[in-house]
Amino acid sequence: MEYSIKTGDLTKQRTACLILGVFAKRQLSPSALLVDKASKGHLKEILKRGDMNGESGQQLMLYDVPGIQAERVLLLGLGKASELNRKRYMKALTASIKSLNDGHAIEAVWGLCDVAVSNIPEAGIVRETIVQSEESLYQFAETKSTVKKRQRPLKRLAVWLADRRQLKTAQKGLQQGKAIAKGIKLTKDLGNLPGNYCTPTYLADQAKKLGRSHAKLKVQVLEEKQMEKLGMGALLSVSRGSRQPAKLIIMNYQGGKADAKPVVLVGKGLTFDAGGISLKPAAAMDEMKYDMCGGASVFGTMMACLEMDLPINLIGVVPSSENLPDGDANKPGDVVTSMSGQTIEVLNTDAEGRLILCDALTYSERFNPATVIDIATLTGACIVALGNQASGLMANNEALAEELLDAGSSCGDRAWQLPLWDEYQEQLDSNFADMANIGGKGAGTITAACFLSRYTKKFKWAHLDIAGTAWRSGAAKGATGRPVPLLTRFLMGRCGL
């Protein structure tokens, strides 16, 4: 969809549909008051008839409102003004975008950017509005032979601002919103693509394609032979059961000063996780195509940064493999040697994410990073602990953890910190290797992070377990694009934005 910013007299906007807010008890928002005045009380008059009282979720379409240039006015219920938060604002936005897209108008003016939303900063409202608008229009159709065409889809949305002085900030917000939305879309598309399309080779090709389209991005893909030379025995042990060759994808974006230390994002790119010899149960196993969503979020965040031309050095590292049972696959009890030299007893072949990540993390040392963040659909235990609301966050540096938590809550893509205390480390003790790849009963999300912490001693590091947040199950099954909003917010913060 196309977006633009409009200022000037709201009542003179020539548009197919003007979207306005109504608070509880029929209280008009500031922009709705302007329209009411121009129409000599028409809005208040209609509301009095009782069709709408302003409760959150309500919608009322009005035609031929006198005194204004818009053909229609769509009133959205927002609930109590003092209780308006991100969730309610986004709910109203999503509902109106969807219903306009289903019919009515092909373009509209969004007149709700002047309402105060408790957990959206004023300067970010345009950006967040665009991100959510794109979110609500998203459809995955790549693997359908026919797509239902809409008769009159919504094509253009103008965001109206009361104050001309906000124009510059709003224009920036618009660009940022479009960039972040584009990153989220890429992450969703890659996540939703099934395992027979989205293989490690496919991901590597997508990275190369991204590299060709942006001058500041260099892409390198390491093949199994090269990984062998580097001693990546943990990563390679996972792909032994697969006919698809593993890839280590490296995307290097030089947007900052040549000598500025880079932020490195390491994303789990397991394109299908059957569990290997420790085979998973059949129910919902299809969802293990999403086991590359950490990697996909690195792609999406990279895309957003490229689109924003962020002045930062950012490196994306995506170890990619399948995890399948096979005569040559990893077996429980096998001992493998990681690139770091540490040996690992593979007690459960389904704990494969940490095996591919540990070598990618060791590899990241060579970039002399300012910070390393890994993102992974790592443990089912994280869903037990936090459900689908928050990503699990663990870090070896408190300031970094705080920075990520803040980034997440300021854009509604929240994380919640779990402890990474030394006491948990002993759960990884092994009789036959330096460590086991599982920590036994209890604190599965934390022991997975403990495992990774043994490969991240040389830099500031944080780990995001996105098992519960990267996709939705059930009727609305699909990738969410999380945590691209959190990561881009974090990187923008590092650029002073």
Binding residues for Mn(2+): 268, 273, 291, 350, 352
* CA–CA distance, 95 with 76 (Å, rounded to integer): 9
Helix (H, G, I), strand (E, B) or coil at 176: helix
Binding ligand BES (rule: CB under 6 A), the pick from 56, 192, 379, 488 is 379
* CA–CA distance, 349 with 323 (Å, rounded to integer): 8
Stretch touching Mn ion by CB under 5 A, among 78-86, 314-322, 342-350, 399-407: 342-350
* Shortest separation between residue 386's beta carbon and Mn ion, angstroms: 18
User: What amino acid positions are annotated as catalytic residues?
Assistant: 280, 354
Q: With respect to ligand BES, which residue has the nearer C-beta, 231 or 332? A: 332
Q: Does 351 bind ligand BES (CB under 6 A)?
A: yes
Binding ligand BES (rule: CB under 6 A), the pick from 352, 359, 374, 403 is 352
Count of residues of this chain found to bind Mn ion when the rule CB under 5 A is applied: 3
Q: With respect to Mn ion, which residue has the nearer C-beta, 322 or 352? A: 352
Q: With respect to Zn ion, which residue has the nearer C-beta, 71 or 287? A: 287
Structure tokens at 125: 């409202």
Q: How far apart are the first and last CA of the chain?
A: 25
Binding ligand BES (rule: CB under 6 A), the pick from 348, 388, 417, 430 is 348
Contacted entry of ligand BES, Mn ion, Zn ion, none for residue 491, CB cut-off 5 to 8 Å set by kind: none
For residue 441, how far is the Cα from the chain centroid?
30
Scanning the structure block, which residue is given the tokens 């990984």?
Answer: 227
Site string for ligand BES, 261-290 (x = CB under 6 A): ------------x-----------------
For residue 312, how far is the Cα from the chain centroid?
19
Q: Does 374 bind Zn ion (CB under 5 A)?
A: no
* CA–CA distance, 194 with 478 (Å, rounded to integer): 11
Scanning the structure block, which residue is given the tokens 């040559």?
Answer: 328
Count of residues of this chain found to bind ligand BES when the rule CB under 6 A is applied: 16
Q: Does 465 bind Mn ion (CB under 5 A)?
A: no
Calculate Rg over the CA atoms of the chain. 25
Q: With respect to Zn ion, which residue has the nearer C-beta, 170 or 270? A: 270
Residues between 184 and 243 with contacts to Mn ion, criterion CB under 5 A: none
Contacted entry of ligand BES, Mn ion, Zn ion, none for residue 114, CB cut-off 5 to 8 Å set by kind: none
Q: Does 115 bind ligand BES (CB under 6 A)?
A: no
Closest listed residue to residue 170, CA positions, set 308, 7, 9: 7
**C-alpha angle with apex 393: 389 to 397, nearest 5 degrees?**
155
Q: Does 234 bind ligand BES (CB under 6 A)?
A: no
Neighbour tally for 402: CB within 10 Å:
12
Q: Residue 452 is which amino acid?
A: L
Q: Does 350 bind ligand BES (CB under 6 A)?
A: yes
Q: Does 413 bind Zn ion (CB under 5 A)?
A: no
Residues between 265 and 294 with contacts to Zn ion, criterion CB under 5 A: 270, 273, 291
Q: Does 241 bind Zn ion (CB under 5 A)?
A: no
* CA–CA distance, 231 with 362 (Å, rounded to integer): 11
Quote the DSSP letter at residue 441.
S
* Shortest separation between residue 268's beta carbon and Zn ion, angstroms: 7
Binding Mn ion (rule: CB under 5 A), the pick from 36, 114, 273, 307 is 273
Neighbour tally for 237: CB within 10 Å:
28
Q: With respect to ligand BES, which residue has the nearer C-beta, 272 or 459? A: 272
The alpha carbon torsion through 233, 234, 238, 242 (nearest 10 deg) reads -20
Structure tokens at 251: 């995307």
* CA–CA distance, 319 with 316 (Å, rounded to integer): 10
* Shortest separation between residue 481's beta carbon and ligand BES, angstroms: 16
Query: Is residue 326 within 8 Å of 316, Cβ to Cβ?
Result: no
Binding ligand BES (rule: CB under 6 A), the pick from 36, 135, 291, 413 is 291
Query: Is residue 183 within 8 Å of 190, Cβ to Cβ?
Result: no
Q: Does 322 bind Zn ion (CB under 5 A)?
A: no
Q: Encode burial over 206-223: b for 16+ CB neighbours within 10 A, e otherwise.
A: bbeebbeebebbebebbe
Q: With respect to ligand BES, which residue has the nearer C-beta, 124 or 353? A: 353
**C-alpha angle with apex 306: 299 to 262, nearest 5 degrees?**
80
Contacted entry of Zn ion, ligand BES, Mn ion, none for residue 381, CB cut-off 5 to 8 Å set by kind: ligand BES
DSSP assignment string, 381-396: HHHHHHTTT-EEEEES
Binding Mn ion (rule: CB under 5 A), the pick from 134, 350, 374, 403 is 350
Contacted entry of Zn ion, Mn ion, ligand BES, none for residue 380, CB cut-off 5 to 8 Å set by kind: ligand BES
Site string for Zn ion, 334-373 (x = CB under 5 A): -------------------x--------------------
* CA–CA distance, 179 with 188 (Å, rounded to integer): 14
Residue ranges for the binding site?
268, 273, 291, 350, 352
Backbone angles phi, psi at 112, to 5 degrees: -115, 10
Structure tokens at 247: 């890839």
Q: Does 467 bind ligand BES (CB under 6 A)?
A: yes
Q: Does 322 bind Mn ion (CB under 5 A)?
A: no
Q: With respect to ligand BES, which residue has the nearer C-beta, 106 or 383? A: 383
Q: Contact positions toward Mn ion, by CB under 5 A?
A: 273, 350, 352
Binding residues for ligand BES, rule: CB under 6 A, are 273, 291, 348, 350-353, 377-381, 383, 438, 444, 467
